[in-house]
Amino acid sequence: MSKTMRPYDVKDTDEFLQMESDNHPRKPGKWSILHSGRHISLIAPYGERSISIPRDQFNAIVDWYLKPQTVREPRP
């Protein structure tokens, strides 16, 4: 895959396995993103708390994060 896949981009088993491979941590201390049905789980490194959120909320956060951000200048 040439681009990072979002959970809702997955259309078949090969893409699912590629996304799982891309998002699974290869080094200790990294977070991983896994999905099951309608929820996304953010699996924390050892000793930290993991979270699970609805897929639509996760996708909204990802879309917001990936869109161009405006930079505000500090007020005088």
Average pLDDT over residues 5-11: 70
Reported as a single tens digit per residue, the pLDDT across 17-46 is 666 666 565 556 777 777 777 888 887 777
pLDDT for 50 beyond 80: yes
What's the pTM?
Answer: 0.49
pLDDT at 57: 92
Could you tell me the residue ranges of all domains in the chain? Answer: 7-65
Average pLDDT over residues 48-61: 88
Cβ count near 15 (within 10 Å): 13
Give 4's contacts (C-beta < 8 A, 6+ positions apart). 22
How many CA atoms does the CB half-sphere of 53 hold within 13 Å? 12
